[in-house]
Amino acid sequence: MMTILRKQLLPIIILLACTLCLSGHGTAQRYKLGPQAIIKRMVQSYSQCASYKDTGMVETTYHEAMSGRYEKMPFKIYFQRPNYLRVEWTDYSPYKDGRTRVVWSNGKEAFTYWEPERYEKEESVRMAFAGANGVSKGAAHTVPRLLTEEVSGFSLPELVNPSLVGEEEFEGEPCYHIKAKHPYSDSAYELWISRRDFFLRKLRIQTKYDEYYVVEDEIHRDISANQPIASTLFDFKPPIPLSTRKETELESSLGSDEDIKWSEFYSQEGRFKALMPGKPTKSSITVAAGSGQIVHNIFKAAGGGLVCVINYADLPEAVINPTDIKTLFDSSRDEMLKVFEGKLANEKSVSLQGYPGREVQINISGGEAKGRFFVVKERLYQLFIMRLKLADESSNEADRFFGSFQIVPDAKSVAVLSRLKLLTEPGQLFSEPRP
């Protein structure tokens, strides 16, 4: 009887054993999935989408020694193959009421809309989204780059040294948590990738600077793939007429492609001298400051694919005490980011002849810009150099420009030295007449 019972139970036991083995094997396989394989599955998920849409938020936190700052930027992404793409976001910095930004492709042409006054047709989808990367804090780049090759630039699969931290939930979604490094910077990356559909739920980028660090969280919610999207979303009509595309600050300022001809420039009134790529033009801007005004004197020269700017302004005594210098440099940095619509790449403290300063590097559409700010007694100096990104990244124009800048406290002694220089180096004339 026992033998018969065993024979009857044997198939069930074998089946149960096989089931357990297969289940265990599947569990082991799930946990054996490495970080590179997970990222590869993520890439496949986006590349296989017929359509995609989500809503999201970029949350930026500035951690400083004595204070901090927090910003939020909501966004939406719409995509439909082969080449329909739209990203919109609301920029609250520095606008309290927010400004709508939209970049999109209707399948044939690409456009940008910067509320309230800019509606332009772009040269291509690639150029339109390259220009939107920095100002959207990555929202117009991270996922769009995975969805279509029409968006160029750095992509998450290029991250190096990935490691699987573990599995955890993000907003109720079971995710793989991965840490990695950017191949060309010191920024640390963390990714939360859904175990269910392998879409990115959260990207965290942490970047350290000299005196503080910045954490950017790019969060994707309400993800929908392979569902119909209204065609009107890709045929967006802003409430203003289409205008002729304006050149960027870099494009409009660039000189010819000829070799750079550096020459020394001296400003007696500005009390400085520096090498510049050609003879600079001078202009001025007056801005209101409390009950008074501040005059910015601007010297600008371009040539050889780059532009150099020196700006100085005499400040009220109330804003140049040591406790306010950091705030002054922060304002200069924020204004630089706003003017060039770029993304902060690096920042550090510097000095000039014993005076405090700061250096800022930002990525802008088609190139890069660097700035240095110094407070010399009652005067603020702002130096900027911009150039297109070249194949030869070892170019040292910024070092040449910044390294040549000097404060000249005594104009008379400089005039004497200049005349002595003329005796030993004929033809090396300054740009402004000597007193």
Question: Is the pLDDT assigned to residue 248 strictly greater than 70?
Answer: no
pLDDT at 34 over 80: yes
Burial 203-223 (b: 16+ CB within 10 A, else e): bbbbbebeebebbbbbbbeeb
Confidence band of 190 (pLDDT split at 50, 70, 90):
very high
pLDDT of residue 258: 57
pLDDT at 12: 37
Instruction: Give mean pLDDT, residues 292-306.
Output: 85
pLDDT computed for residue 291 by the predictor: 62
Tens-digit pLDDT profile for residues 51-74: 999 999 999 998 877 777 888 999
**pLDDT at position 244:** 72
358 or 253: whose pLDDT is higher? 358
Average pLDDT over residues 186-191: 91
Report the C-alpha gap between 116 and 118 in whole angstroms.
6
What would the pLDDT profile of 72-107 be if each residue is shown by its tens digit? 999 999 999 999 999 999 988 767 788 999 999 999
pLDDT bin (cut points 50, 70, 90) of residue 414 is: very low
Complete domains list, the chain, with CATH:
35-234 (2.50.20.10), 249-424 (3.40.1000.10)
H/E stretch holding 401 reads helix 397-404
Task: Find all residues with CB under 8 Å of 38, minimum gap 6, and list them.
Answer: 164, 176, 178, 193, 198
Q: If pLDDT is split at 50, 70 and 90, which confidence band does 26 have?
A: very low
Is the predicted pLDDT of residue 24 greater than 70, yes or no?
no
414 SS3 class: helix
Residue 115 per-residue DSSP state? T
